[in-house]
Structure 1
Amino acid sequence: MSSVREDRTIKSRPKEELVRKSVPSNKRRKKKKLSKEEFEKRKKKKRKENIIEIIKFMFPIVIFAVFVFFFILNTSPHMVDGDSMKPTLLNGDRVIVRRTKEPKRYEVITFKPPVKSEFQYVKRIIGMPGDLVWTEGNDLFINHQAESLPKASELSAANELPDGTIKINVSEESLDQMSQLKKIPKGHYFVLGDNRNNSSDSRAFGLVDGQAIEGVVSFRFAPFDHIGWIK
């Protein structure tokens, strides 16, 4: 007796969708209202992050600027102490000094004075090498335009003095030095403070040797409301 195998066909059910469709809702989630303390905390955090980003951005620029100023341009920072250069420079001003061996007339320089001092002086160049000089009494006359000294009879007459002549009252010490000269020697300078009533300068100690000059005051970087080039 033969057996019969019955084939059973099983119909597979359709797979159920596993992804549920989101049901649209008219209700929106309400944002959590921050307290005043939380708001200030977040504000400070954001401000701190902004400052950090600014520092990260500015740091390489500052380093590069320092490198340029102090190495490529051969400069050094100084702080002004005193009022001898008012109104050009004020007490406490911070300036950049550009080192140079050949300063020009009317430039402001820093130098080691020919007197005992722990500090460098800052003054303006008035007399340059080659300028004509002569004295009368306690007065010194400097001229960079005239080709020859005026006649003795003309020394007292201001209207007879050559154009461009500067008249300066000097000390006995400075007078002893300057009266021996007809021209300011090579490599030497006559300097004055802009605040003539409160300045120890060439009127007191005579000429400044060029070897003692550090450089020219070129830029003021503090205080911030007075930043700018020095003239």
Structure 2
Amino acid sequence: MKVPFLDLSAARAGIQAELDRELLRVAHSGNYVLGPELERFEGAYADFVGAASCIGTANGLDALHLGLRAMGVGPGDEVIVPSNTYIATWLAVSQCGAVPVPVEPIENTHNIDPEGVAEAVTDRTSAILPVHLYGQPADLDSLHAVADTHGLKVLEDGAQAHGARYKSRRVGSTGSVAWSFYPTKNLGALGDAGALTTSDSDVARTVRLLRNYGSERKYENEVRGINSRLDPLQAAILAVKLRVLD
């Protein structure tokens, strides 16, 4: 018997008919960039994690990159990252012109070691970027204690932690988190997709600007942004899957 290495059909089990209906509905709607479909998913996902805002992006790497930029990370800065993570975590830092500083994990959880983070802080450190690996949240209390001591920002990478809880609260309810909805995630789109959730209104507004060419109003570009918008077709698929995630 041939056993597939990865069977993504399990993610559609029991909801295929609804997914098909949603794809056709959005395809016939005429709204293909931003718009109400995306806003509905953003609102639903913000409510799910317990954040004030969700900003959809084209992929998880962009969510990380734009989140760091919105927090003021730039050239010459250092950002503390796990040594054991997918390269996107490091690339997001380098895309800001900053330097990723790797820290080894705790042996029993494989998440970043807060003591190692504290030792890695220098006068150039601007942020800490922990990754919640294998659905296990990092030690956020200890990491925020280090951040508060040194005046650092914290951006969480939640690409493997959709629905995970830290001390009974969902990841995303107490900080800014970048998410990937790559098809292999437990909340996966039909292609690349991502988002940033936050309760920091300044970060939320800046990421919204940055993902859309630096524009909030058409033909008015406030900052040097990029094109990184979560499209409505993916948003509709994610909205269906979100309802059955738990």
**TM-score after normalising by structure 2:** 0.23
